[in-house]
Amino acid sequence: MPSRAAYEKNFLPHQVPKALGELLEFQSSVKGFFSSGFELADDDKGGIETWSSDSAFLDCLYPIGMANGSGSTYALWLENEGDLATAPVVVFGDEGGVHVVAEDIVSLLRILTFDTEPMIDDEKVVYYRDEDDYEPSDGAAEYVAWLTKHFNQKPVSGSNEVEELVNAAQKRFAKPFATWMKRYHGG
């Protein structure tokens, strides 16, 4: 788990968005995962650089943390000036695929209550959980309580609600993100 100083480097020249700073404090207070495969990390754009090392590309992406246990990365995308707190969240898949998944940090925080790793390929990102085999992460209940208390947000009710959150983000940001991405990664 990163220290506050190490985590702050992910967002330079900006400040760490307040919600992520609070999540970092929460993460340090729980044992184990609070959402399957997710953890805040001082990635220093390592996984993102595999898509492009162009500084204009990297200067618009701010790593949040790991999306799964195999190296996929969540990041905020801020093409122009603006507020990182309201920037869309994208996921860079470790085996390919990059997709918009949330309209902002708070939407991602709600998706994390589903407590499953995203499945990412070139065509889509899916949050799926086999309910018969599901075992909550160690800190899942604490996380839901924390999110409700600090952000007045309810956990998602199931995969349909996660899909609605992802679809809303993609409807709003997928096309401009794909157009922007093609400048740096021809895929």
| 187 domain-assigned | no
Task: Identify the DSSP state of 36.
Answer: T
pTM for the complete prediction?
A: 0.95
Helices (H), 67-132: 105-112
Give the Cβ contact number of residue 156 at 10 Å: 20
Domain contains 100: yes
Residue-wise pLDDT for 112-161, tens only, equals 999 999 999 999 999 999 989 999 999 999 999 999 999 999 999 999 99
- Residue closest to 51 by CA, chosen among 71, 81, 80: 71
Asked if residue 128 is part of any domain, the answer here is yes
Burial of 168 (0-12, 13-18, 19+ CB in 10 A): middle
Residue 95: predicted pLDDT: 86
Q: How many distinct structural domains can be found in the chain?
A: 1
Instruction: State which residues form the domain around 75.
Output: 4-182
